[in-house]
Structure 1
Amino acid sequence: MLSASEAAIEAEIKTKGLNAPRLTPDKIDATIVGEDYHVFPGTTMTVCALKLRNGYVVIGESAAASPENFDEAIGKRIARDNARNKIWALEGYLLRNKLHDEIRLAQGNIA
């Protein structure tokens, strides 16, 4: 699910020739193997649980301040986006760790 802002950023990265190892929206989406939603009865609280390929689950949530504005489909979309955004940080850490280990290995610094 490439958003308009993600598409614009991807285009700019490609235009500028930035081609070092990095995360992409497609790589983030490829980590997701399942999703479940729950709307708590009598509330506007919506939770999305995204299951990642390694079995880890990332949670996102949303809630409308005014019950009159609550729309379940919108709540689910916002909760999913919030969960997906957390994956960027997790995958970013993993990539940075991998790059760090590769540099240390190339320098002969891994015990």
Structure 2
Amino acid sequence: MDHEAQIEQDLQSKGLTAPRLTPVDIDATIVAEAFHVFPGTTLTICCLVLRNGFCVTGESASASPENFDPQIGRDIARKNAREKIWALEGYLLRQRLFSEV
């Protein structure tokens, strides 16, 4: 079980059901993704396009070019981009909750 799934399971088992974000919510915001590796480098950029058209980027780079693997670079860059969505969606949820008060 991955880290996010474990946290989600812990929250549910403790009955913490107030409005919150879940991994499913985060994934639902993503409608497209694109990757670019800069020629002659190990720098990989991931651009995630969100449902409202906003773009979030993440990056990865191998310190040793000999260790560079394109798929691993994409996976890490995507993970780093996806992590940024939590903060954006968290702010949006908090703003919605604030407006309801």
Aligned to 1:63: 61
* Mapped pair 1:36 → 2:34: yes
Aligned to 1:89: 87
For residues 88 and 34 of structure 1, the distance between their equivalents in structure 2, rounded to whole angstroms, comes to 17
Q: Which has the higher contact order (CA 8 A, sep 6+)?
A: 2
RMSD: 0.7
State TM-score, norm by structure 2.
0.98
Aligned to 1:108: none
Aligned to 1:98: 96
Runs of 4+ aligned residues of structure 1 deviating over 2 Å after TM superposition are none
Secondary structure in 1 matching 2:34: strand
Q: How many residues were matched structurally?
A: 101
Q: Whose Rg is larger? A: 1
For residues 4 and 18 of structure 1, the distance between their equivalents in structure 2, rounded to whole angstroms, comes to 20
1:48-98 deviation digits (Å, cap 9, x = unpaired): 000000000000000000001100000000000000000000000000000
For residues 65 and 28 of structure 2, the distance between their equivalents in structure 1, rounded to whole angstroms, comes to 34
Which runs of 5 or more structure 2 residues have no equivalent in the other structure? none
Which runs of 5 or more structure 1 residues have no equivalent in the other structure? 104-111
Secondary structure in 2 matching 1:55: coil
Q: CA deviation at 1:26?
A: 0.2
